[in-house]
Amino acid sequence: MTNKIQNLIPKPYQGTNPSNKISDIFIQDSFSKDDDRLWVPLSSGRWSRPLCYNISQGYWVHLTKVIGGGFLSRHKHPAPVHGFVIKGSWRYLEHDWVAKEGSYLFEPPGEIHTLVVDENCDEMITLFHNTGALLYCDENGNTIGSTDVFDRIEVARNHFIEVGLGENFIDQFIR
């Protein structure tokens, strides 16, 4: 009876979990400010911080970071996307809203949109949960390229090898 809060905390669950349960992912410091190697460069001024690459359900969860403004991509998704803005701001040219720190968005399958980060945004960080693929489009909506979870794994694996973290470093993010 020394601490009221302690009294309210139950014992940890002592039972079993399914034997075929896969392991969780816990990342203490997703921003990795002390280790830039965790940020996978995708193009000039643009990085991706892997959080979860799900190869059985075909989705990936990551942080997108953009330094300096500009056009990122015009694309569509065959499956839904969830996004949450952590820092900075960005918008789709096709919408009248601006995604800012604290904004959440659901992107419906099928929509084509053009992502730009405004010039006055020093640094943008957004968490995206992408399912299926990103299909890059020209201005007429024709698909001109694509990326999926397997492409993302390959790019990240090559990067981690290059910066000395090894070819197995990527495995901790794959489920």
Which residues contact Fe ion (rule: CB under 5 A)? 107
Residue nearest to Fe ion (CB): 107
- Rounded CA separation 124/164 (Å): 27
Q: Which is nearer to Fe ion, 107 or 148 (CB)?
A: 107
> At closest approach, how far in Å is the CB of 83 from Fe ion?
8
> At closest approach, how far in Å is the CB of 86 from Fe ion?
17
Q: Which is nearer to Fe ion, 73 or 172 (CB)?
A: 73
| Pair of tokens at residue 27 | 């990342």
> At closest approach, how far in Å is the CB of 17 from Fe ion?
35
Q: Which is nearer to Fe ion, 148 or 170 (CB)?
A: 148
Residue 70 DSSP label = E
- Rounded CA separation 145/71 (Å): 16
Q: Which is nearer to Fe ion, 124 or 170 (CB)?
A: 124
**Cα separations in angstroms, 103 against 24, 37, 80:** 26, 27, 17
> At closest approach, how far in Å is the CB of 153 from Fe ion?
20
Within 10 angstroms of residue 29's Cβ, the number of other Cβ atoms is: 9
Residue 174 DSSP label = B
